[in-house]
Structure 1
Amino acid sequence: MRFGIIGTGTVGRTLASKLVSLGHEVTLGSRSKDNTAANDWADRAGPYGHAGTFAEAAAFGEIVVNATSGTVSLHALELAGGEHLEGKTLIDVSNPLVFSPTGEVTLDPVNTDSVAERIQRAYPAARVVKALNTVTAAVMVDPGRVSGEHNLFIAGDDPEAKAQVRIVLEEFGWPAASIIDLGEVQAARGMEMMMPFWLRLMHHFGHTDFNYAIRSAG
């Protein structure tokens, strides 16, 4: 399958490398063709890895992944081009973290909206699925880094798109039973609001190889 990844940071490159290792073809998209991170990644990735602009990545992918910072995601997807997103599953991995000069972390949007919802409203013909935003990049593609059973969450309005994302997550190593479908895309609000707490846990543990494990009596 062909994937277009919007964003060349650690998350984007980690996802791109995993997908290539699984035999998928990936275009890693950046604002311009001369992006060093994207071009260096493509040079190392082999024949299935390519570098391109946001628009080229979105046009290339059968599935598109938004791996940009949540505060700039809408602008990045605007550059990618709405016509390149129509009818496609769009996996939103972003978090709208805002860091103050003193180090405090807030979210924008928060509580009454989410990045995933804003993307879905802006691109109604895309099939937005929120996923992978509650774990660090390395755990996204290698859940075995965290011992025991632990959970991943997805949310979105399109059942077929969520089923497609589940297949990708299972390829990454997430057991089917570990993936909790929280329902419609509005549930992304809670998923994004988990991140300030996640950052507190990171400071507590001193590393990022941890995750949430949900236990239910029924």
Structure 2
Amino acid sequence: MPVIAVLGKGRVGGSLALALTRAGHEVTVADRAPGSAADAARTAQIVINATPGAGSLERLSALREELRGKILVDVSNATVDGPDGLPADLLYPGSSLAEKLQEALPATRVIKTLNTMLYTVMTAPDALTQAPTVFLSGEDPEAKQVVRGLLADLSWQQEWITDLGGIETARAAEAAILFVRHVIRSSGFAPFAISVTR
């Protein structure tokens, strides 16, 4: 199995690291110590960006050489928060964090996924009462297949995965973050995800 580096030790990064370790992957987690992210990225084949989205572009752009040739799985949302601390607007309107990362890291295969749900659903999608949908956006078909495998290891069934297309489709998935504050106000802080039903 490929070595996975998770950048970010918060709720999202911690949950993903634990779940992937339990699935049998070798996982390293970077903290805020100088050089930690570079060391983790350098030794991994797959890097997961679980850093706060507002600072992700700057942080990851500094890792251009360490991320060269790697798969970068971007699960973050770059937002401007409102007074309540919840996402109120997009940091990159008319674009997306994933597109900005792909532009800044042309030798890296960026795949956007897992960003349209409360973080607990990322590693326990079957805990919901209805089947959720997880989206994929990116330019590299091989990288998408690898990420599909990771999603399966996180208990996502293949029929729950929807490939939206190229990296530009990430702007639609990232815009879904604007639902969050309204859903939380309406229903409370409970697990939820977007679901495409047919």
Fold equivalence (TM over 0.5):
yes
Mapped to 2, the partners of 1:6 and 1:14 lie a distance apart of 12
The structure whose Rg is larger is 1
Structure 1 counterpart of 2:131, from 128, 149, 154: 149
Compute the TM-score of the two structures, normalised by the length of structure 2: 0.93
Contact 1:15 1:137 in 2 (8 A): no
Runs of 4 or more above 4 Å deviation: none
Q: By how many angstroms is 1:145 displaced?
A: 1.5
The answer for the alignment partner of 1:202 in structure 2 is 184
Q: What amino acid maps onto 2:164 in structure 1?
A: L
Contact 1:146 1:209 in 2 (8 A): yes
The answer for the alignment partner of 1:158 in structure 2 is 140
Query: Which consecutive residues of structure 2, in runs of 5 or more, have no partner in the other structure?
Result: none
The answer for the alignment partner of 1:106 in structure 2 is 89
The answer for the alignment partner of 1:8 in structure 2 is 9
Cα RMSD after superposing both structures: 1.5
Write out aligned runs for 1:119-130 (5 A): 119-130=101-112
Write out aligned runs for 1:1-218 (5 A): 1-32=2-33, 53-79=36-62, 81-101=63-83, 105-110=88-93, 112-216=94-198
Larger RCO, structure (CA 8 Å, separation 6 or more): 2
- Matched residue of 2:65: which SS? helix
Q: Deviations over 1:42-89 (max 9, x none)?
A: xxxxxxxxxx7110111121100011111100121134x211111111
Mapped to 1, the partners of 2:74 and 2:170 lie a distance apart of 10
Contact 1:59 1:85 in 2 (8 A): yes
Identity %: 39
Q: Deviations over 1:88-134 (max 9, x none)?
A: 11000010121133657111012x21000000000001000000001
Mapped to 1, the partners of 2:39 and 2:195 lie a distance apart of 38
The answer for the alignment partner of 1:44 in structure 2 is none
Compute the TM-score of the two structures, normalised by the length of structure 1: 0.85
